[in-house]
Amino acid sequence: MKILIVEDEVSLQESINSYLKVEGYICESAVNYNEGEEKICMYQYDCILIDINLPDGSGLDLIKLAKSRNVSAGIIIISARETIEDRIKGLKRGADDYIVKPFHLSELNARIFSLLRRIHFKGDDQIIFKEIQVNSSERSVLINNSHLDLTKKEYDLLLYFLSNKDRVLTKESICEYLWGDFADNAGSFDFVYTHIKNLRKKIVDKGGVNYIHTMYGVGYKFVSK
């Protein structure tokens, strides 16, 4: 899977790059509009991350270009602007997703993971990890072929872990992923704990392995090995 990151902030771009590389993606980057234009025209990508504010042009124009050149690529906008107008403008141009800075790398990773699955399997895919089988069109989970009854949040949580295997996920990032803006109170971290406790219990009850490890004082990690 090839990913192009068009982001003028080198430091940000490098961070995304190094996180995604570990996930096994091949990452290329462009630091301005011209470079982005060149790469979009020359190569094929599975996913393109585009910052709207580029020093020499607008990322919105790059989206248009990418859509005409590289039809199959999924496009995610990375922007500091979060008004509805900005979002609509971006999505209208053909972007698939919109993520507002500052975001968690694990969240970006989950979004890319979900977008790529949507593109390649048209939403009718299965994520299989050892005994866990996730059917995303039905939003159902099977453990050892027996149905696992999860709440919406628990399902989202499991997907989040599956897209960020072997990563330390902080409570904040999980909280923001599950509740978005509501997660600005220390109390809500207890909710994360409760959700994870329930999810673990349900998986183990169905004979699954407890892959979710607690990293003391930091967060959680889905250990695949």
Partner 1 sequence: MKLLSRTSYILITTILFVVFIGSIVFYIILKSTTDREIKKELQSTMQSIIHEFKENPNVYSGLSLPGYITVEKVNAEGHYQPFYKDTILLDELDNSYKQYKLFISEIKINSDFYRICIYKSLNVSTQLIERITLIVSIIIIIFILFIYLLNRFIFERIWSDFFLTVKKLKSYNVNKESKIHFENSEIAEFSLLNSTLNKMISKLHDDYVNLKEFTGNISHEIQTPLAIIRLKCELLLQSMPLNNRQAELIRDIQKTNSRLSKLNKTLVLFTKIDNDQFTHKERISIDELIKSHLDDFTSLTKLRNIDLKYLMTDDIPLIGDPMLVDVLIVNLIKNAVLHNIENGEVIIELNGGELTISNSGEKTDLSNKNILDRYTKLDRKSDSLGLGLSLVKKICDLYGFTISYQYLNDLHVFTISFR
- Point out which residues bind partner 1 (CB under 8 A): 9, 11-12, 15-16, 18-19, 22, 53, 80-85, 100-106, 151-153, 167-168, 170, 172-173, 179-182, 184-188, 190-191, 194-195, 215-219
Shorter beta-carbon distance to partner 1: residue 90 or 219: 219
Shorter beta-carbon distance to partner 1: residue 17 or 70: 17
> What's the number of CA atoms in the CB half-sphere (13 Å) around residue 17?
15
Check: CB of residue 169 under 8 Å from CB of residue 223. Answer: no
Shorter beta-carbon distance to partner 1: residue 9 or 125: 9
Shorter beta-carbon distance to partner 1: residue 83 or 145: 83
Which residue from 172, 157, 183 is spatially nearest to 218, judged by alpha carbons? 172
Q: How far is the CB of 223 from partner 1 (least distance, A)?
A: 12
Token representation of residue 207: 């004979």
Check: CB of residue 96 under 8 Å from CB of residue 115. Answer: yes
Q: How far is the CB of 195 from partner 1 (least distance, A)?
A: 8
Q: How far is the CB of 17 from partner 1 (least distance, A)?
A: 10
**H-assigned helices in the chain:** 10-22, 33-42, 59-69, 84-92, 105-121, 152-163, 171-179, 188-205
Q: How far is the CB of 193 from partner 1 (least distance, A)?
A: 9
Q: How far is the CB of 55 from partner 1 (least distance, A)?
A: 12
Cis amide bond preceding 102, omega within 30:
yes
Q: How far is the CB of 29 from partner 1 (least distance, A)?
A: 14
Residues paired with residue 213 on neighbouring β-strands, in sequence order: 221
Amino acid letter for position 35: E
Which distant-in-sequence residues (6+ apart) come within 8 Å of 63 by Cβ? 50, 75, 77, 90, 93, 94, 95
Shorter beta-carbon distance to partner 1: residue 13 or 70: 13
Shorter beta-carbon distance to partner 1: residue 52 or 95: 52
Residues paired with residue 90 on neighbouring β-strands, in sequence order: none
